Amino acid sequence: MAYDEVFTNIIKVADFSLKHTFESAQPLTFYGHYNNASNTLTYANGQHILNVGFEGDVRRGRIVVASRYANAIDDVKKRFRLDDDIKNMYESVSTDAFMRNAIEKYHGMRVTLNDPWETTVCFIMSQFNNVKRIRRMVLNLVAAFGSEIKDDNDRVVGRSFPRSADLLKVTENDFKKIGAGFRAKYLVGAAQYCTYNLDLYKLNPNDYDGLKSELTEIFGVGDKVADCIALMGYGNMHAFPIDVWVKRTLEKFYFKGKKKTVGELHAFAEKRWGKYAGFAQQYLFYHGMNI
């Protein structure tokens, strides 16, 4: 990373992995740009580009934030939830051998806090999909409908994530052209609903039931997607997204292969991991997908 931008800041941090966080199917996975060789991440926040690098090991190191955005340091602290009591969270969810192994293997992976609209779009795109294809679709959406971000020399250095109002004139066929497939109709509906009927930025992030109720009114948002939005768009750690991988992992390692309903698995997660169920879920998901 070249630290020649106007604002450069250092954040000392423990128990942090930029690599694991980026790779674990969170919104930044789909629209950020990570360089494994330099352990750096570049992403856009509105009309601002942020460059984030990590130096050290997962137990203790430092985050270097370089950006022309004056509030970049606050964005990074909020985005990566650096004020969380991560040691207490690890202690709380280390309830069994599977979780301890997951935490050891992916130590430092954080659950990120992202823009609610961007999170909604990313996880609408995620339905019946894999990480590689979701990323391609989201990047196509940003390239096609995002506005240009320019530097002081009027050079285009990136594109912003389009807001819901930016997508009102985008047709279902337009979304299909960027690879959205059957999800195109959901994107049309979400753009209209979140522009005219629902202000995502006024929802109460601490009201889990109310939050999910509001989110599932969006066309194309079901139980799993609503939990993803609640967890990564609002920071509600009671949210426990259950996709195919999480369901299989829970049934295999916690119920000896016995099939369970989504409702039963939600109840199990709440009882076992409580207020940090969403944090546990990210480790269950990522470890379960990679074993």
pLDDT at 282: 97
pLDDT at 4: 42
How far, in Å, CA of 175 to CA of 162, rounded? 13
Polymer length in residues for the chain: 291
pLDDT at 151: 85
Flag residues of the chain having pLDDT under 50: 1-5
pLDDT at 3: 38
Residue type for 64, please? V
Three-state SS letters, 39-98: CEEEEEECCEEEEEEEEECCCEEEEEEEECCCCHHHHHHHHCCCCCCHHHHHHHHCCCHH
What DSSP designation does 269 have?
H
How far, in Å, CA of 18 to CA of 43, rounded? 13
Cα distances from 127 to residues 121, 144, 223, in angstroms, run 11, 21, 12
- All structural domains of the chain: 7-83 (3.30.310), 116-234 (1.10.340.30)
pLDDT at 5: 47
The alpha carbon of 62 is separated from its chain's Cα centroid by a whole number of angstroms, namely 22
- C-alpha angle 236-61-112 in degrees, rounded to nearest 5: 20
Q: What does 167-220 look like in DSSP terms, one character per residue? A: GTT--HHHHHHTT-GGGHHHHHHHHHHHHHT--GGGS-TT-HHHHHHHHTTSTT
Contact 43, 33 (CB under 8 A): yes
pLDDT at 291: 81
How far, in Å, CA of 212 to CA of 180, rounded? 24
How far, in Å, CA of 290 to CA of 147, rounded? 36
pLDDT at 269: 98
pLDDT at 227: 98
pLDDT at 152: 81
Predicted structure pTM score? 0.95
Contact 97, 206 (CB under 8 A): no
